[in-house]
Structure 1
Amino acid sequence: MRASDHAGMVRRLSPELWRRLQDACSEIIEVPAGTRITKAGESIARSALLLDGLIVRNATDGVRQAQMVALQVPGDFVDLHGLPLGRLDHDVLAVSPARLALFPHKALLEIVEDSAEDARALWALTMIDASIHRHWTFRMGQLRALAGLANFLCEMGLRMELCGRSREGRFALPLTQSQMAEACGLSGVHANRTLRELREAGLCVVRDGEVQFLDRAETARIGRFDPGFLFLPWEGASGPA
């Protein structure tokens, strides 16, 4: 792993723990879009840290139906909760071409058993992951179309900024309109109409897999976006101004 890979949520980890993770990494792989990283119900013996790309988690009935329940950005462990559980209850898939660092559970267990502080730090990452999930539940249940989509775009904008994938309010978001609608609990038609409303209001433009904030503060206000659920520990990461 490179020094630049110490970005996003793993910036919460101490330099010492980051070095231990570098030593524990068994391999770095690159996968094309559409690759299933982990299948619901299958035993897993390693966890993956996303270094580049976008990963989706889909809850599934195991037959045909699936529901997006999370998006992972660079700096996120996509399945660290599989360490104590031994399996996941959802599929993990690459939305875009992705680069991942793999960590055998045996090596991770040696880290957490050797240091209570390191164990708490890794545990905290899974707690923030759960906090993001609760925020998604709130957004889908309480925010209507315009507010919900604005909230989602603000969340993704901040998370992309934290991992160094955003510049001047512009970032890649390689989701289809259908996927974006699913993330916000909308129909495709409703999402299309809402994206047009955001654009015509001079707030945000989503085009060809890229998002550009035109008025980030107003988008955040309309979306009732409060970054507190990310538990940001570092200076200058309090969200859009």
Structure 2
Amino acid sequence: MAEPTVPVLVVIPTYEERDNLEPVLSRLHAAVPTAHVLVVDDASPDGTGELADKLAAEDPRIRVLHREGKAGLGAAYLAGFGVALQGEYQVVVEMDADGSHAPEDLPALLAALDDADVVLGSRYVAGGAVSNWPAHREWLSRGGNLYSRLALGVSLQDITGGYRVFRRQVLEELDLDEVSSQGYCFQVDMAWRAMQAGFRVREVPITFTERERGVSKMSGAIVAEAFWRVTCWGANRLLHRSPGRDDAVSDGAVRA
């Protein structure tokens, strides 16, 4: 698959991912050699930030943003988006540091921008899959996606997924200062805002693989935040009768 012709920045938030970071970056640059990476580290006590600094000193494609403490996934991505918009990057990628998002899938996500403004790596469209995930985690994920579809009136099959690609224009036009969601609710928030703004959102299949090293950051508080915020957004949508445009595209077909 052809290399991207515009500058790409992959934003990778980290908190205690020392054992995973280097293998992920190695695979990423094997898959997309021209991609730049911004590691956003939340003062990881295990030395992830120090390792990121070492890797950045050895590779000009890697940069590190150090934050003062653990402030959540959404805040980390927003900080990364800010850095991207200060530079020349035309495409910004969200990717987890734990290896669950296969860097080998990134070329397909980038290619899908030919007819989309936001591309979601989807576990739940035809061709997508999950591997080595506990059953309760998969059902929680599927349930969260189903609830989000019903509450928001969208057809996206994996609106909670965190492997995604944005055109620069999307991040420039959305009011990122209004985004306060954390956890996987941040992913719902960003996709929902993009669709409301009329951007083309497309899903392409990925294989999500449960981490082999380290501990998941999922918690009851993250689930509760997502349920509460999606419920509020859905209620507001019904009250104002303005669901916005559903321009989601999956498997090449416009989902009306």
Per the normalisation by structure 1, the TM-score is 0.26
